Amino acid sequence: MTSPIQPKKDLLLKWFKKYHKWPGLIFALFILLFSVSGIIMNHRSLFSFVDVNRKWLPGNYEYNNWNMAAVKSAVKLPDDSLLVYGNIGIWKTDSSFSTFRDFNKGFPNGIDNRKIYSLLHTHNHRLIAGTLFGLFEYNNGWEKINIPVKEERIVKIIQKNDSLLVMTRSYLLLANINDKNLNFSIINVLAGEDSGDKVGLFRTIWVIHSGEIYGLAGKLLVDLVGLIFIFITLSGIFYWLAPHLLKRVEESSKSRIKKVNRFSIKWHNRLGYWSVLVLLLTSITGMFLRPPLLISIANAEVSKIKYSKLDDPNTWDDKFRDLMYDEVLKRYIVATSDGFYYSDDEFGSVLRRYSVQPPVSVMGINVFEKKATGGYLVGSFSGIFQWIPEERIIIDYFTKLPYAMSGQNGSPFGAISVSGFIGMSDGNQIVFDYGRGAIRSGKSGVFPQMPVEVIKKSPISLWNTSQEIHTGRILEFLLGPFYILIVPLTGLASVLILVTGFFAWWIPYRRKTKNKKVLINAALQSKLP
């Protein structure tokens, strides 16, 4: 006799299969692209030598008017020439920017290896560059300098008298600029006065999603997750296509298709139910790393996860962003992912936090300059502002209006997404917007267009291409601002696909197991006297 519950279970099973199949087919391409790009993004240094010609990407990825963070800033040399640097590497030009000469000799191959974050010309005429992958000095070509820490992402290089200070994302290093071979020591930067046992929720989700929370082992686990996503997506597509293929191929090929289909669906199910929890975790965390869901976690803090990368004895692990020494105030100012701090005693005590903080996008600070008229210039994707902390003043650089503090909890993008700044001695100032490029202020004039040679020698790295795919920005040319919905929608679809897929497998499995037990019990009962 059929149980009255059985038809209900069959209807539920049918529902699970339906909503596993169709979202899986609709979002298959996005899941595949996110999986492949995620694996590449997890190993930036490994793929750093691989570039992609921009002509193979949508038109909005072509350089136009020095956009897309082509330029971060410039350094003036004694002969009045300038070294312009940023994502394009380093180029030598004159004071009117009329000619540009490639100044990247010595950097390893690959545009990622000449992504320049800081450049310094010292008083004794040494040129020091800080890149994504290390510290370099120019001696008729760039030569790498050894530093005493594994983490080599340089964010700032400054000079104070004979001291050379180099800041990575986690450490502050010190050397004597007069030594022929620079020997660095690590400065112990004490915690901020407001430091606690908390860490940003954004960073927590980031390291969980990438696997970095448990170092290389965690990254390799997430790589495996990406490979599983790729396999179950392709095997699911093949399972859907197999009946259609069988109708169209010769008889001799049918057995091969059936064999492949049996193998793929077997492992589709096994890998799916074995790894469903980690697949769900990866999908959910990824949704919160991009707007609009990112906004809800941008300023939140949580407790550190014990025995993980987040539980690091270095208070400033992956938090340093910029550094300045104010000669007038005799003060170091440190920009971090937690805000701005200062030290008046050569880092001898805890860092003091400024009571008034300028707005900085969660994407990070891109401009930090001392203004001759007082205060500092702070620029990020949230805009650019004049910040005078002693007077508790924050003024919008363009509108000259006071900054509305309520804006700190809004979008990480301002009206102008500032990616760079050049201040000229003649009063001209060039602000670089990520999307629109150079915006000149001060005296009249237009910043020159990018030379063909600079564009030709500035491809996009495979890693950055993968990042554009992984964030959905690659489709901005097609969807406009709605591209930001690709990540959350794909994340939600992945959750639906995984949950429905699990129950579409589990219900028949439980039924089969239950029936098997019934048959075994019946067989045992029949043998009883």
Q: What is the pLDDT of residues 294-315, one digit of tens each?
A: 888 988 889 999 989 998 889 9
What gap in Å lies between CA 155 and CA 132, rounded to an integer? 8
The pLDDT tens digits of the residues spanning 412-423 come to 556 789 999 998
CA–CA distance, 20 with 233 (Å, rounded to integer): 11
Q: How confident is the model at residue 409 (pLDDT cuts 50, 70, 90)?
A: very low
Across the beta sheet with 134-138, the strand order is: 116-121, 127-131, 134-138, 142-145
| Helix H or strand E encompassing 464 | helix 462-470
- CA–CA gap between residue 214 and residue 308 (Å, rounded): 6
Taking a C-beta distance cutoff of 8 angstroms, is the pair 311, 136 a contact? no
Residue 17 lies in a domain: yes
pLDDT of residue 1: 44
Inform me whether the pLDDT recorded for 392 exceeds 70. Answer: yes
Q: Residue 158 domain-assigned?
A: no
- Token pair listed for 334: 């440190």
pTM: 0.90
Q: How many CB atoms lie within 10 A of CB 433?
A: 24
Q: If you average pLDDT over residues 196-212, what whole number do you get?
A: 92
Domain count, the chain: 1
**Amino acid of residue 111:** I
Place of tokens 């920017």: 97
CB 214 within 8 A of CB 308: yes
Structure tokens at 162: 């004979």
In a domain, 289, yes or no: yes
Q: Which residues lie below 8 Å from residue 495, measured CB to CB, with a gap of 6+?
A: 280, 283, 284
Q: What are phi and psi of 61, to 5 degrees?
A: -100, 5
Q: Using 50, 70 and 90 to split pLDDT, how confident is the model at 406?
A: very low
- Would you say residue 434 lies in a domain? no
Structural domain harbouring 1: 1-62+196-310+458-522
3-state DSSP helix/strand/coil percent for the chain, to nearest 5? 40, 25, 35
Question: How far apart are alpha carbons 332 and 337 in whole angstroms?
Answer: 16
Residue 140 domain flag = no
What's the whole-number average pLDDT of the chain? 91
483 domain-assigned:
yes
Peptide linkage before 292 cis (omega within 30 of 0): yes
Phi/psi for 98 (5° steps) reads: -90, -30
- Whether residue 52 lies inside any domain: the answer is yes
- Model confidence pLDDT, tens digit, residues 223-279: 999 999 999 999 999 999 999 998 888 888 889 999 999 999 999 999 999 999 999
Q: Identify whether 351 is part of a domain.
A: no
DSSP state of 37: H
HSE-up of residue 105 (Cα within 13 Å, Cβ side):
8
